[in-house]
């Protein structure tokens, strides 16, 4: 047999040890580290020089100690610059790159008419609510204008505002005319009453005069 500690025996032993070190699986440690560091497993870095110590860690507490010691590290986020995207967006805001060749959807798909309608309705209805709450219009005018807005009578706020002012002026004019008419009617009624009273007085005086004779 061979002598103990011979050179060939030493070489075999060393090779076996190296193979053992290479075969250590750190799958569990990587999973626990990912949970502790609150990241994915691909973001976990395990120190290749401390494989033996890392392989001994089989609990989250041990992993936390390794993190503290710097043997387990969370890799930094990959840089994904948006500078080019920002430049392109700024150019598009100015109207660049929006010609016929760049358009993929139909006009209706790019900006639906239903969306434009909803925006217009919301703007006009909000304006009507504001006017009603501010007592600029009463509930009857509000309802009338609301139905007209729904019926596509007003295309924007300016037209609606002008219509409100015109309607209010018309109503004030009608009210003033009605008041004048009422005042004239009251005046005429009072004049008629006075006339009747005078006639009755004259008749009474005539009767008294005849009785005295």
pLDDT of residue 6: 44
Q: Which helix (H) or strand (E) holds 52?
A: helix 51-56
pLDDT of residue 213: 64
Which carries the bigger pLDDT value, residue 97 or residue 5? 97
Which carries the bigger pLDDT value, residue 114 or residue 201? 114
Inter-residue contact 139 to 132 (CB < 8 Å): yes
Q: Give the confidence band of 52 by pLDDT, cuts at 50, 70, 90.
A: very high
Q: Give the confidence band of 208 by pLDDT, cuts at 50, 70, 90.
A: confident
Average of per-residue pLDDT across 53-72: 96
With a CB cutoff of 8 Å and minimum separation 6, the contacts of 32 are 57, 59, 60, 63
pLDDT of residue 201: 84
- List, for residues 112-164, the tens digit of each pLDDT value: 999 999 999 999 999 999 999 999 999 999 999 999 999 999 999 999 999 99
Residue with tokens 């009608």, as numbered in its chain: 174
The burial class, CB within 10 Å (0-12 / 13-18 / 19+), for 73 is middle
> Would you say the pTM of this structure is higher than 0.95?
no
- List, for residues 87-111, the tens digit of each pLDDT value: 999 999 999 999 999 999 999 999 9
Alpha-helical (H) ranges within 94-156 are 107-110, 113-133, 139-150
Distance of alpha carbon 72 from alpha carbon 54, whole angstroms: 8
Distance of alpha carbon 106 from alpha carbon 103, whole angstroms: 8
Distance of alpha carbon 136 from alpha carbon 162, whole angstroms: 13
Judged by DSSP in three states, 95 sits in coil
148: tokens are 């007209």
pLDDT of residue 137: 94
């Amino acid at each position: 047999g061979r002598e103990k500690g011979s050179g060939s025996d030493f070489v075999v032993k060393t090779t076996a040890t190296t193979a053992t070190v290479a075969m250590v699986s750190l799958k569990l440690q990587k999973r626990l580290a990912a949970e502790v560091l609150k990241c994915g497993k691909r973001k976990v870095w395990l120190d290749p020089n401390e494989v033996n110590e890392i392989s001994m860690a089989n609990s989250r507490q041990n992993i936390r100690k390794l993190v503290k010691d710097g043997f387990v590290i969370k890799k930094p986020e990959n840089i994904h610059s948006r500078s080019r995207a920002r430049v392109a967006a700024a150019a598009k805001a100015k109207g660049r790159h929006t010609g016929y060749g760049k358009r993929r959807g139909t006009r209706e798909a790019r900006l639906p008419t239903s969306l434009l309608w909803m925006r217009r309705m919301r703007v006009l209805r909000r304006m009507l609510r504001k006017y009603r709450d501010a007592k600029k219009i009463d509930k009857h005018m509000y309802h009338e204008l609301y139905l007209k807005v729904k019926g596509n009578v007003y295309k924007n706020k300016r037209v609606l505002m002008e219509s409100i002012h015109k309607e209010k002026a018309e109503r004030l004019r009608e009210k003033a005319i009605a008041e004048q008419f009422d005042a004239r009617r009251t005046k005429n009624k009072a004049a008629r009453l006075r006339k009747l009273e005078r006639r009755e007085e004259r008749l009474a005086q005539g009767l008294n005069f005849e009785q005295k004779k």
